Amino acid sequence: MRDGNRIKAKGYKAQPSNHMTSANDYKQLLQRLRAGLPQTQAKSDWFEVPKAELKILGRKTSLENFGDICELFQRKPQQLYVYLTKKLGTAGNLEDHKLIFNSVVSQTQIDSALETYYQDYVKCPVCGRPDTTLVKKGRVTYIKCMACGAESPVKSELR
């Protein structure tokens, strides 16, 4: 009985007394390391939304680099086609890698629609990278990020 008590007391004394100090040192080291690293946020700047290449065909407008834009955004032509025609309020047709709008559309209109699409449907809101796919769950569309794994519901969905 007396022996058991003595062992317990010994065990208690054996705990390291400098535990707090080394944890603080580690925290300070981490802070110093973080301060020296470049801002990770700046990485989103390397992706540039492409400018639309337009050709006016009488009363129609051809988006010449539609195929390239789909590839860059990693979106199916159908997805971007539906978005652009709804956003610009005009009908259109897909003709080998081009989108032909049935009206005259300005450069500014298409460029701003592409920028909005990128911000709302392509860019990961968590890490800012463009390597994403769209996943539909019920009535909600999510942006699934290949870089960080986040799934974020799209901000404003056109129906």
Q: What is the DSSP letter of 154?
A: -
Token pair recorded at residue 145: 């990020």
54 vs 129, beta carbon nearer Zn ion: 129
Stretch that binds Zn ion, among 1-9, 59-67, 105-113, 145-153 (CB under 5 A): 145-153
99, β-bridge pairs: 63, 94
- Give the number of C-alpha atoms closer than 13 A to the C-alpha of residue 8, restricted to the C-beta side: 5
- Rule CB under 5 A: say whether 143 interacts with Zn ion: no
Q: Can you tell me the distance from the alpha carbon of 100 to that of 81, in angstroms, rounded to the nearest whole number?
A: 10
Which CB sits closer to Zn ion, 127 or 154?
127
Q: With binding defined as CB under 5 A, does residue 148 bind Zn ion?
A: yes
Between residues 49 and 145, which has the closer beta carbon with respect to Zn ion?
145
Query: HSE-up of 67 (CA within 13 Å, CB side)?
Result: 6
d(CA 145, CA 138): 19
- Selected from 47, 150, 152, 154, the binder of Zn ion by CB under 5 A is 150
In terms of CB distance, is 88 or 123 closer to Zn ion?
123
Task: Give the containing element (helix H, strand E) for 63.
Answer: strand 60-63
Please identify, using beta-carbon distances, which residue of 80 and 124 lies nearer to Zn ion: 124
Dihedral, CA of residue 138, residue 72, residue 52 and residue 119, to nearest 10:
50
| Stretch 98-127: interaction string toward Zn ion, x if CB under 5 A | --------------------------x-xx
Residue 94 as a binder of Zn ion (CB under 5 A): the answer is no
Q: What residues make contact with Zn ion under the rule CB under 5 A?
A: 124, 126-127, 145, 147-148, 150
